[in-house]
A and B are shown apart, each in its own frame.
Chain A
Amino acid sequence: MSTIAIVRAAPSVLQPPRSLWTHLRPLAMIVGSMTIFFAVWQVLSSFVFNPHLIPPPTKVFATAVPMIQSGEIFKHIGISLVRVIIGFIAGTVLAILFGVVMGRLKAVNDLLDPIIELLRYLSPTAMIPIAVIWFGIGENSKYFLIFWGTFFFVLINTIAGVMRTPVARYRAAQCLGASELQIFMQVVIPSAVPYIVTGMRVAMASAFMSIIPAEILAADSGLGYLLQTSAMLVQTERIFVALATISLIGFITDRIFRWAVERTLHRYMAFITAT
């Protein structure tokens, strides 16, 4: 049946409406699912739950407007974002450097791997107390914690990517006359790019999850701090504004990251599936 339907739809006259819907479908789905989400939330918190514990979206929105107008929310966003970006970049750069060396030199890997295997179980949250003792409650402790939450994800993926360069590709480059260094720079590292990017995306999510506890426990600004002060004054509306902001910022950052990868590293991201 469905085959027949496709065949009938094939004439070009019928194409435009179909392709328009194909384009609009994802957007329609998002709008639809958001509408349902907010409607259910509104109904539940107005008639079922205590609106002081779960404020309805209209109230959250009403709380958000003055925070946006006064620029208060943007100040917190900006501070948290800068912390995430600096820690993330530092963690990523160092992890890639360590990762390519460890992936290539077995001796270095054997030496460092046990240490990394132990350290990576210490979540950034577990490191907050010692970070505060080492770096105080200023910016450096936040950079350190984000760095910590980023480094291991990127490192482990980079090592895996470097080690998993297909043997055939390596040997093909040898036959074409490439030296070890040329193979490393022009074959092994490009082959590892998809792994590195995957590690970076996971690390990005980790960085966003690490900044909040760090700011709750030890900061005087940022989205985590906003959560913390709102909780102390039992301002649930402001807590919800902060929570919504965090998910929105995380989502947008990931989209921007994916867009940037698509723009700059597109050609390295192709995995060829075996035929």
Chain B
Amino acid sequence: MLLVDAVSKVYGQAPAAYHALDDISLEVKRGEFLCLLGPSGCGKTTLLNILAGFESVSSGTASLNGKRITGPGSDRVMFFQDAGSALFPWLSVEENVRFGLKLRGLPRAEADRTVSHYLAMVGLDEHRTKFPAQLSGGMRQRLQIARALAIEPEILLMDEPFAALDALTRRRMHTFLHDIWTKTGKTIVFVTHDIGESILLADRIAIMSVGPRSRFRDIIEVGLPRPREPAMPRFGELYGKIEGLLTNEVDALQ
């Protein structure tokens, strides 16, 4: 279980300090798919970076299964929107996936099996000798997913991973991620701007208020049956409700 308890985050020193997050609490259950949704600059990436251990908290605690998060660990893997810079361009598709396995000294044969398993899962099996520069945007994101899954983390932290993809590819990636999540039962914290994306994917949607001193405006249970479609009856209703909440947020600023 991922626990965020009364976390605040202040960037910088006194006169120029920026109070990004204020007294935020959240509980993410094992195997849950949680979306963080909020206006730009509200601190979604900040919160994800705290969970990943890239940023420290200013007060409060973030913990995983009762253990305080103090730095990055291979039980939590972060996904970046810019797969091009997150991947290792000098390694082939196969070698990118093998990178984490090599570090933990997995025997060659076992590593081979794991690599093949996850490449097949993300549908990159026949591209294993290609290099990241030779892949499309969607393929790079799938490679990032395979590389992360291969080290069997408990949690996937995803920061707008599909925002740079075209609408059709993004839709395909939603289905793909949904399948992966069902198959592997990972806990996923997924940051997005896109209301539709959050309704399609999430068990719960945590809506953040505008910064500074951002908090959770509301946490919504989606409760629609899976797999989901934008055409579902309650989809539009939910969309409207969330949009209302976000608009109130942004209007409050003016």
Q: List residues of chain A with CB under 8 Å of any chain B CB.
A: 166-169, 171-178, 182, 186-187, 190, 193, 267-268, 270-275
Contacts and interface: CB of A to CB of B under 8 A. Distances in A.
Chain A interface mostly = helix
B104 A270 contact: no
Contacts of B147: 172, 176
B77 A175 contact: yes
B151 A176 contact: yes
Interface string B109-150: 000000000000000000000011100110010001001100
B82 interface: yes
Contact of B85 (A176, A270, A272): A272
B54 A171 contact: yes
A178 B103 contact: yes
A31 B202 CA distance: 64
B250 interface: no
B110 to A, nearest CB: 16
Contacts of A273: 84
Which 3 pairs of residues, A with B, have the shortest CB-CB distance? A166-B85, A176-B100, A272-B84
A167 B164 CA distance: 18
A176 B132 contact: no
Contacts of A173: 99
Interface of B: 52, 54, 72-74, 76-78, 80, 82, 84-91, 99-100, 103-104, 131-133, 136-137, 140, 144, 147-148, 151, 153, 164-165
10 contacts: A168-B85, A169-B86, A171-B72, A172-B144, A174-B54, A175-B74, A175-B77, A176-B77, A268-B90, A272-B85
A87 B114 CA distance: 48
Contact of B74 (A176, A193, A270, A271): A176
A168 B82 contact: yes
Contacts, number: 87
Contacts of A182: 103
A177 B151 contact: yes
Nearest to B157: A175
Contact of A267 (B52, B74, B131): B131
* Residue among A169, A268, A275 with most chain B CB within 10 A: A275
A169 B85 contact: yes
A187 B88 contact: yes
Contacts of B100: 176-177
A274 B77 contact: no
A270 B96 CA distance: 15
Given A171-B72, A176-B147, A176-B151, A275 B84 contact: yes
B136 A275 contact: yes
A167 B104 CA distance: 22
Contact of B78 (A171, A267, A268, A270): A171
Contact of A172 (B76, B78, B137, B153): B78
Contacts of B86: 166, 168-169, 171-172
B90 A190 contact: yes
B82 A175 contact: no
Nearest to B85: A166
A97 B78 CA distance: 32
Contacts of A172: 78, 80, 86-87, 144, 147
Nearest to A166: B85
Nearest to B92: A267
B137 A275 contact: yes
Contacts of A176: 74, 77, 99-100, 103, 147-148, 151
A173 B103 CA distance: 10
A265 to B, nearest CB: 9
A104 to B, nearest CB: 18
B11 to A, nearest CB: 16
A175 B88 contact: no
